[in-house]
A = this chain, B = another copy of it.
Amino acid sequence: MTITGMRVTPIAISDPPLLNAAGLHAPYALRTIVELESDERIIGLGEVPGGETTTRALEVARDVVIGRDPYQMNALRRDLDERFGAEGTQPRGESPWDKRVHVHVLSAVEVACFDLIGKATGRPVCDLLGGRVRDRVDFSAYLFYKYEGAGGELGFGTDLDARGWAAARQAGALDPAGIVAQARAMREEYGFASIKLKGGAFAPQEEVAAILALREAFGPTVPLRLDPNAIWKIETALEVGRRLAGVLEYLEDPVRGQDQMAAVARELEMPLATNMCTTSFEDLPGSLRLGSEQIILSDHHFWGGLRASVELARICRVFGRGLSMHSNSHVGVSLAAMAHLAAATPNLSYACDTHYPWQRDEIVAGGRRAFDDGAYVVTNDPGLGVELDREALDRLHRRYLECGLTERNDEVEMQKKQPGWRFEPVRW
Could you list which residues of chain A lie within 8 angstroms of chain B, going by C-beta atoms? 69, 71-76, 78, 121, 123, 127-128, 130-133, 281-282, 284-285, 288, 307-308, 310-311, 314-315, 317-320, 344, 346
Contact = CB atoms under 8 A, between A and B. Distances in A.
A116 to B, nearest CB: 13
A281 B319 CA distance: 9
Given A69-B127, A285-B319, 4 more contacts: A72-B131, A74-B344, A78-B346, A315-B318
Contact of A69 (B75, B131, B281, B282): B131
A318 to B, nearest CB: 5
A281 B132 contact: no
Contacts of A317: 281
16 contacts: A69-B127, A71-B123, A71-B127, A71-B128, A73-B130, A74-B131, A74-B132, A74-B346, A75-B132, A128-B128, A130-B307, A284-B318, A285-B318, A308-B314, A311-B314, A315-B318
Contacts of A123: 71
A331 to B, nearest CB: 27
- Copies of this chain, complex-wide, total 2
Instruction: Determine chain A's interface SS by DSSP, over half rule.
Output: helix
A128 B130 CA distance: 10
Contacts of A288: 288
Contact of A72 (B76, B132, B320): B132
Contacts of A127: 69, 71-72
Nearest to A76: B131
A271 B78 CA distance: 27
Contact of A131 (B73, B121, B318, B346): B73
A307 B346 CA distance: 14
A281 B318 CA distance: 6
B131 A319 contact: no
A127 B310 CA distance: 17
A78 B311 contact: no
A311 B319 CA distance: 13
Contacts of A319: 284-285
A284 B284 CA distance: 14
A63 to B, nearest CB: 19
Contact of A78 (B75, B133, B281, B314): B133
A89 to B, nearest CB: 16
A392 B71 CA distance: 34
A317 B315 CA distance: 12
A4 B308 CA distance: 32
Nearest to A315: B315
A320 B284 CA distance: 11
Contacts of A74: 130-133, 344, 346
Contacts of A308: 314
Nearest to A285: B319
A74 B131 CA distance: 6
A314 B130 CA distance: 16
Contacts of A281: 314, 317-318
Nearest to A311: B314
Q: Which 3 A-B pairs have the closest CB atoms?
A: A72-B131, A71-B127, A311-B314
Contacts of A130: 73-74, 307
Contacts of A72: 127, 131-132
